[in-house]
């Protein structure tokens, strides 16, 4: 090569490097891409990397090995709707009105008017404003409509997600015929004892001749349960048609949805999203519909695990995680994508199928499960991988929260968090990078619906992690750690026992919360509780009153809000789920 040729080549190389440098700088300035994965109802004890020896989760285990594993990652609530509201906004669900005051803590009808209020800011909204492509694939469970069946006031598209493919409600047993959990819920609301007492009293009075019940009256009275039963049958029969549908953006593409291959279809949709957006920053929230009941797994996974259908679904979820990792690798996005995997709360221990098969997950050494604030209800997997930035094979035992993702994303994309409201999450990066040793969460508050149930305190000057319960839910049967009679544990007065002084545990010594501590074991017992009580009331004062999105009125089925992709006489059925080629 001539001298001139060499010079030219060097010049081109230099220019190229400057150009590439500027390009990667601009990408860097924009922050990484995000793939945030949330599994529904997954127990911390279901994953290999958290100690399970028989359920196979090789892809998730690899994610943990290549990244940071949080061992004290805490869901902001032990139920789907409030936990997800808190995750998306970085705020306890009471602040947005997404924590109920009654028994029911989640939405169970699509035609309910409650949902994540418009003025709440999600991390997707922040990312969208910064030029990110944003997508939610999978479960939403934060409302749909307000006033009409197509105003979509609570829809993911209104909360920062450009693209949506999934279900706006939750997967329910009732989505598959003959599995009804609605049955449990409604029947737990029937005051059977009072009805029995009333009938008995009337019968006795009749026999004693105090009153006389005529045949006509008897007929009228028996009409009430008959009408009730008929209504009940209608609800159970129509439930899957009215509540279990799949949407692409604001169009219903399948009603009711076919679950069998749903994880596969969602995975395919996610891969397409990643491919479409590989040249620009993106944020994908992949929200698994599994492993909530009704369980389903596609043919390739059915009957393969050592833990029945439940294990099969977990293994399919793991396969899906592997597919997303593989796609990022093949697109060359491994180094500038932050992956996160968690569960919305602990495993649902009451999920025993009608033939006695265990359909709920495993919470390892942690007590109780979903719907409680014992560690089994709120301690969830928390795995973060960002190759080349975060350390690999690292485990952190400090308290962190699923609300931390909000400020972490905000900081990384240079968006800043809204200043006109309380943000309860904390930026995770300093802890993940090892710049600080201690979590910024000195206190975490554990809510049972809208009721402050317990406080966690990690004092700066000690190794203890205190947890104090103001009340605990009554288990049924009593010697279990679940509420089998009601399917979930409730938070209202008649279902709980109040504690004064609060029940105190030190999680650093008793992570399974087996024995409450007494004054004898803890010399400064009262001082510790005092600090926690004061923190609780300080926190309570910071919660501004807002409209209750889960009030009875906002939970009720409102026919005029009911989405239906055909006509009522066609039972709202349709099936046109053809993924579009390219484009959003
Ligand atoms: C699921 O996928 C399998 C093979 O990929 C196919 O044979 C089966 O028909 C699909 N089931 C549904 C319900 O689409
Ligand atoms: C692994 O998970 C399964 C399914 O949830 C559970 O039955 C089993 O007890 C777990 N095993 C261990 C060792 O944690």
User: What is the pLDDT, as a whole number, of residue 215?
Assistant: 84
Please give the residue that has the higher pLDDT: either 405 or 4: 405
| 207 within domain boundaries | yes
Residue nearest to atom 10 of ligand 1 (CA): 261
**Mean predicted confidence (pLDDT) in 245-254:** 94
**Residue from 254, 257, 260 whose mutation best tests the ligand 1 pocket (most atoms within 8 A of CB):** 260
Can you give the pLDDT at residue 227?
Answer: 83
Quick one: average pLDDT of 250-262? 91
Mean pLDDT of 346-355: 89
Instruction: Point out the domain boundary residue: 194, 217, 236.
Output: 236
Question: 554 pLDDT exceeds 60?
Answer: yes
What's the structural domain count of the chain? 2
Query: Are residues 321 and 417 both part of a single domain?
Result: yes
% the chain with pLDDT above 90 = 73
Smallest CA separation from ligand 2 atom 14, residue = 52
DSSP 8-state symbol, 205? H
What is the pLDDT confidence band of residue 22, given thresholds at 50, 70 and 90? very low
Helices (H), 305-427: 308-330, 375-378, 405-412
Q: Is the pLDDT of residue 568 over 90?
A: no
Q: Which residue has the higher pLDDT, 460 or 190?
A: 460
C-alpha of residue 355 to centroid of ligand 1, in Å? 26
The residue-averaged pLDDT of 147-171 equals 95
Inter-residue contact 388 to 28 (CB < 8 Å): no
Same domain, 150 and 293: yes
Compute the average pLDDT of residues 455-470: 96
The pLDDT assigned to 223 comes to 84
Q: Which residues line ligand 1 (CB under 6 A)?
A: 258, 260-261, 298-299
In this structure, which residue's CA is closest to atom 13 in ligand 1? 260
Which of the four pLDDT bands, split at 50, 70 and 90, describes residue 414?
very high
Instruction: Tell me how far the alpha carbon of residue 307 lies from the centroid of ligand 2, in angstroms.
Output: 8
pLDDT at residue 194, rounded to an integer: 80
Can you tell me the distance from the alpha carbon of 361 to that of 370, in angstroms, rounded to the nearest whole number? 10
Are residues 46 and 82 located together in one domain of the fold?
yes
229 has a pLDDT exceeding 50: yes
Label residue 23 by pLDDT band (50, 70, 90). Answer: very low
Cβ pair 47, 57 in contact under 8 A: yes
Residue 433 CB: number of other CB atoms within 10 A?
Answer: 14
pLDDT at 24: 44
Question: What integer is the mean pLDDT of 206-217?
Answer: 86
pLDDT of 583 reads 40
CB 524 within 8 A of CB 531: no
| Substitution site in 348, 360, 362 for ligand 2 pocket (most atoms within 8 Å of beta carbon) | 362
Known catalytic membership, residue 80: yes
Residues 63 and 160 in one domain: yes
Q: Are residues 403 and 257 in the same domain?
A: yes
Collapsed DSSP state (helix, strand, coil) of residue 278 = coil
**How far apart are alpha carbons 109 and 145 in whole angstroms?**
11
Q: In which domain, by residue range, is 220 found? A: 184-236
In a domain, 510, yes or no: no
Instruction: Tell me if 462 is assigned to some domain.
Output: no
Is the pLDDT higher at 13 or at 249? 249
Which atom of ligand 2 lies nearest, measured to the CA of 307? 4
Substitution site in 246, 261, 319 for ligand 1 pocket (most atoms within 8 Å of beta carbon): 261
Tell me: do 253 and 198 sit in the same domain: no
Q: How far apart are CA 148 and CA 581, in angstroms?
A: 31
Q: Are 347 and 307 in contact (CB under 8 A)?
A: no
Is the pLDDT assigned to residue 582 strictly greater than 70? Answer: no
Task: For 88-126, give the DSSP string.
Answer: HHTS-GGGGT-S-SSS--S---TT---BS-TT---HHHH
- Estimate to the nearest angstrom the gap between the alpha carbon of 210 and the chain centroid: 56
* Nearest CA, atom 11, ligand 2: 52
- Output 480 or 295, whichever has higher pLDDT: 480
Is residue 160 within 8 Å of 126, Cβ to Cβ? Answer: yes
Question: Of 71, 154, 156, whose CA–CA distance to 118 is shortest?
Answer: 154
Residue 297 clears pLDDT 50, i.e. is over it: yes
Q: Poorest-confidence range of 5-9, 134-138, 510-514?
A: 5-9
* Catalytic residue selected from 49, 73, 80, 441: 80
CATH number at residue 111: 3.40.720.10
- Ligand 2 environment, Cβ below 6 A: 45-46, 51-55, 307, 310-311, 361-362, 364
- Rounded to whole angstroms, the Cα distance separating 119 from 117 reads 6
Which pLDDT score, from 0 to 100, does residue 45 have? 97
- From atom 10 of ligand 2, which residue's Cα is the shortest distance away? 52
- Which atom of ligand 2 sits closest to the CA of residue 45? 14
Rounded distance between C-alpha atoms, residue 114 and residue 166, angstroms: 19
Ligand 1 atom with least separation from CA of 258: 13
- Closest approach atom of ligand 1 to CA 299: 3
User: Of the bound ligands, which one is closest to the alpha carbon of residue 50?
Assistant: 2
Taking only the tens place, the pLDDT of each residue in 432-452 is 999 999 999 999 999 999 999
463 lies in a domain? no
**Over residues 277-284, mean pLDDT:** 97
Closest CA to 34 of 502, 384, 466: 384
pLDDT digits (tens, 9 = 90+) for 42-75: 999 999 999 999 999 999 999 999 999 999 999 9
Q: Which position among 73, 141, 179, 446 bears the catalytic label?
A: 141
Contact 488, 80 (CB under 8 A): no
Q: How confident is the model at residue 584 (pLDDT cuts 50, 70, 90)?
A: very low
* Mean pLDDT taken over the chain: 91
Helix (H, G, I), strand (E, B) or coil at 573: coil
Hey, what are 372's tokens?
């409680």
In a domain, 532, yes or no: no
Q: Which atom of ligand 1 is nearest to the CA of 298?
A: 1
Ligand having the closest approach to the CA of 52:
2
Note whether 133 and 208 are same-domain residues. no
Q: What gap in Å lies between CA 476 and CA 167, rounded to an integer?
A: 32
> How many residues belong to the chain?
584
> Is the same domain home to 270 and 160?
yes
Q: Are residues 326 and 270 in the same domain?
A: yes
Domain check: are 231 and 251 in the same one? no
Task: Please report the pLDDT score of residue 218 as a whole number.
Answer: 84
Query: What mean pLDDT comes out for the span 190-211?
Result: 84
Question: From the CA of 291, which ligand is nearest?
Answer: 2
Which pLDDT band, with edges at 50, 70 and 90, does 27 fall under?
very low
At 96-129, the pLDDT tens digits run: 999 999 999 999 999 999 999 999 999 999 999 9
- Give the span between the Cα atoms of 104 and 107, in whole angstroms: 8
Does residue 310 sit in the same domain as residue 431? yes
| Ligand number, closest to the Cα atom of 361 | 2
Residue nearest to atom 13 of ligand 2 (CA): 52
At 211, which CATH number?
1.10.287
Protein residue closest via CA to atom 3 of ligand 1: 299
Whether residue 119 lies inside any domain: the answer is yes
With respect to residue 6, please indicate whether it lies within any of the assigned structural domains. no
Q: Using CA positions, which residue lies closest to atom 2 of ligand 1?
A: 261
**Measured in angstroms, how far is the CA atom of residue 308 from the centroid of ligand 2?**
11
């Amino acid at each position: 090569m001539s001298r001139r040729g060499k010079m030219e080549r060097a010049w081109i190389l230099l220019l190229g490097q400057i150009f590439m440098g500027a390009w990667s700088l601009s990408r860097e300035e924009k922050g990484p891409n995000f793939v945030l994965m949330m599994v529904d109802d997954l127990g911390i004890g279901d994953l290999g990397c958290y100690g399970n020896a028989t359920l196979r989760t090789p892809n998730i285990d690899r994610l943990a090995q290549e990244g940071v594993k949080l061992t004290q990652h805490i869901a902001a609530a032990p139920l789907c709707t409030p936990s997800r509201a808190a995750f998306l906004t970085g705020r306890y669900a009471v602040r947005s009105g997404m924590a109920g005051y009654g028994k029911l803590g989640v939405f169970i009808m699509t035609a309910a008017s409650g949902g994540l209020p418009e003025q709440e800011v999600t991390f997707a909204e922040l990312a969208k404003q910064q030029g990110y492509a944003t997508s939610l694939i999978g479960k939403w469970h934060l409302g749909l409509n307000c006033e009409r069946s197509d105003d979509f006031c609570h829809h993911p598209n209104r909360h920062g997600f450009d693209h949506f493919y999934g279900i706006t409600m939750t997967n329910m047993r009732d989505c598959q015929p003959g599995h009804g959990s609605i049955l449990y819920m409604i029947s737990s609301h029937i005051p059977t004892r009072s009805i029995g007492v009333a009938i008995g009293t009337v019968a006795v009075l009749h026999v004693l001749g105090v009153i006389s019940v005529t045949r006509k009256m008897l007929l009228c009275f028996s009409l009430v349960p008959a009408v009730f039963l008929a209504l009940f049958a209608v609800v159970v029969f129509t439930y899957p048609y009215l509540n279990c549908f799949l949407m692409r953006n604001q169009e219903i593409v399948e009603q009711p949805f076919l679950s069998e291959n749903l994880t596969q279809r969602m995975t395919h949709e996610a891969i397409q999203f990643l491919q479409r957006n590989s040249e620009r920053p993106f944020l994908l929230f992949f929200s698994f519909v599994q492993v909530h009941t009704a369980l389903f797994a596609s043919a390739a996974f059915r009957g393969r695990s050592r833990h029945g259908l439940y294990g099969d679904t977990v293994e399919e979820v793991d396969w899906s995680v592997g597919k997303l990792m593989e796609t990022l690798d093949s697109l060359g996005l491994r180094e500038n994508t932050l992956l996160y995997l968690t569960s919305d709360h602990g495993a649902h221990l009451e999920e025993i199928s009608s033939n006695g098969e265990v359909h709920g997950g495993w919470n390892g050494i942690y007590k109780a499960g979903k719907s409680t604030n014992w560690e089994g209800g709120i301690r969830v997997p928390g795995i973060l991988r960002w190759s080349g930035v975060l350390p690999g094979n690292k485990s952190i035992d400090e308290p962190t929260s699923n609300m931390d993702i909000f400020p972490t994303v905000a900081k990384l994309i240079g968006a800043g968090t809204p200043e006109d409201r309380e943000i309860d999450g904390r930026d995770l990066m300093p802890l993940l990078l090892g710049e600080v040793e201690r979590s910024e969460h000195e206190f975490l508050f554990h809510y049972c619906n809208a009721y402050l149930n317990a406080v966690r305190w990690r004092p700066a000057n000690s190794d203890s992690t205190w947890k104090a319960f103001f009340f605990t839910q009554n288990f049924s049967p009593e010697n279990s750690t679940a509420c089998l009679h009601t399917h979930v544990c409730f938070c209202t007065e008649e279902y709980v026992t109040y504690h004064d002084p609060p029940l105190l545990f030190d999680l650093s010594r008793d992570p399974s919360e087996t024995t409450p501590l007494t004054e004898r074991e803890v010399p400064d017992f009262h001082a510790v509780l005092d600090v926690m009580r004061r923190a609780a009331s300080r926190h309570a004062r910071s919660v501004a009153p807002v409209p209750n999105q889960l009030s009875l009125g906002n939970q009720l089925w409102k026919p005029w809000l009911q989405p239906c992709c055909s006509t009522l006489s066609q039972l709202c059925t349709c099936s046109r789920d053809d993924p579009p080629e390219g484009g959003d």
